[in-house]
């Protein structure tokens, strides 16, 4: 009998993927974790039965949470990732030779452990092989309070605003991120779907704007995420993502990217009208 995984995106719609094998299923102190083999999207990680990453489309999300900020900041040396226990975000950061240290602060050690074991194409830089990478199993909300004026770029690669991630969408947290960034620092956070999550976006961008002088939304197409249209918040103390963007450096990047490129960078910030309405 075929085994199908279904995630509902609203009461009336969802996505369904054919599962060929369960590689791991277990619980941590924070959430339920499943890693399964799918027929069409390779291996897939679920947290509390929600899609986090799949091997086939993770390149979109990980390219877009990392490269716009690292090609806007003139010389990113120290980068912090909050969440991101699958390792895909750290993998993309490590492609930037200017980065001397990347810190991963993930609340759930089981996510890191099982990603290293079962998702090697994403966790390849968090398995202890890269001396530029530092791992912390800790709540990002607590960790950030201990690190004032420390980072050039902070990336919040979190789950939806449920459970341990609720506080990662709050104004208090953004104030501590602002304090942890150097005077010209940049923060990027995944900001849900403009199509389904208008209410979340409204409060999130209001919170960001009460802290950061520059706040912009950009978008990307992630097939297995609700509606396929996903977004990221770019919050900056000094550099604007279009005005300060180093297009020449992005065009000359000495590494491969499967989604991101120097032209798409600009286009990603050109939002559909309904998405603009969500955040203005």
Q: Which ranges of the chain would DSSP assign to H, the alpha helix?
A: 58-70, 88-93, 109-118, 120-123, 140-145, 171-180, 198-209, 247-251, 262-268, 273-279
Closest CA to 115 of 25, 32, 35: 35
Catalytic residue among 34, 139, 157, 160: 157
Is 2 in the active site? no
- Residue 75 CB: number of other CB atoms within 10 A? 9
CA 218 to chain centre: 13
C-alpha to C-alpha distance for 275 and 198, rounded to whole angstroms:
8
Q: Under the criterion CB under 6 A, does residue 105 sit at the interface with ligand SAM?
A: yes
Closest CA to 120 of 85, 86, 84: 86
Q: How far is the CB of 159 from ligand SAM (least distance, A)?
A: 5
Q: How far is the CB of 63 from ligand SAM (least distance, A)?
A: 12
Q: Under the criterion CB under 6 A, does residue 158 sit at the interface with ligand SAM?
A: yes
Contact 123, 52 (CB under 8 A): no
Contact 99, 132 (CB under 8 A): yes
Binding residue for ligand SAM, selected from 64, 90, 93, 107, defined by CB under 6 A = 107
Candidates 105-113, 176-184, 231-239, 245-253: pick the segment binding ligand SAM (CB under 6 A).
105-113
Q: Under the criterion CB under 6 A, does residue 154 sit at the interface with ligand SAM?
A: no
Binding residue for ligand SAM, selected from 38, 54, 72, 159, defined by CB under 6 A = 159
Range 218-247, binding ligand SAM (CB under 6 A): none
Residue nearest to ligand SAM (CB): 83
Q: Under the criterion CB under 6 A, does residue 140 sit at the interface with ligand SAM?
A: yes
Range 71-100, binding ligand SAM (CB under 6 A): 82-86
Please name the residue that has the structure tokens 């341990």.
Answer: 164
Q: Which ranges of 128-251 would DSSP assign to H, the alpha helix?
A: 140-145, 171-180, 198-209, 247-251
C-alpha to C-alpha distance for 230 and 219, rounded to whole angstroms:
6
Q: How far is the CB of 140 from ligand SAM (least distance, A)?
A: 3
Q: Under the criterion CB under 6 A, does residue 106 sit at the interface with ligand SAM?
A: yes
Q: How far is the CB of 70 from ligand SAM (least distance, A)?
A: 18
Total residues at the site for ligand SAM (CB under 6 A)?
25
To 10 degrees, what angle do helices 198-209 and 171-180 make? 50
Candidates 10-18, 153-161, 177-185, 252-260: pick the segment binding ligand SAM (CB under 6 A).
153-161
Positions marked catalytic: 157
Q: Give the footprint of ligand SAM on this chain (CB under 6 A).
A: 30, 47, 52-53, 61, 82-86, 105-108, 111, 139-141, 157-159, 164-165, 168, 190
């Amino acid at each position: 009998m075929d085994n199908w995984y279904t995630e509902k995106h609203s009461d009336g719609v969802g996505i369904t993927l054919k599962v060929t094998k369960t590689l791991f299923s277990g619980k941590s102190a924070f959430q339920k974790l499943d890693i399964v083999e799918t027929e069409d999207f390779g291996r897939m990680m679920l947290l509390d039965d929600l899609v986090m990453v799949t091997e086939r489309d993770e390149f979109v999300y990980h390219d877009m949470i990392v490269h716009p900020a690292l090609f806007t900041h003139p010389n990113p040396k120290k980068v912090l990732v909050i969440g991101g226990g699958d390792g895909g975000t750290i993998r993309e950061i490590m492609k930037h030779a200017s980065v001397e240290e990347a810190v991963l602060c993930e609340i759930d050690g089981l996510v890191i452990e099982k990603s290293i074991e079962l998702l090697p194409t994403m966790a390849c830089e968090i398995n202890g092989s890269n001396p530029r990478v530092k791992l912390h199993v800790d709540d990002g909300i607590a960790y950030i309070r201990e690190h004032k004026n420390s980072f050039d770029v902070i990336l919040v690669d979190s789950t939806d605003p449920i459970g341990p991630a609720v506080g990662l969408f709050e104004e208090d947290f953004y104030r501590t991120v602002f304090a942890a960034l150097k005077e010209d620092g940049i923060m990027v956070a995944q900001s849900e779907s403009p199509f389904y999550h208008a209410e979340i976006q409204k409060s999130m961008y209001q919170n960001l704007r009460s802290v950061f002088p520059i706040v912009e939304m950009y978008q990307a197409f992630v097939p297995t995420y609700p509606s396929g249209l996903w977004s990221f918040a770019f919050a900056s103390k000094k550099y604007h993502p279009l005005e300060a963007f180093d297009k020449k450096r992005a065009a000359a990047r000495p590494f491969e990217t499967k989604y991101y490129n120097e032209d798409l960078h600009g286009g990603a910030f050109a939002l559909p009208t309904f998405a603009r309405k969500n955040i203005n």
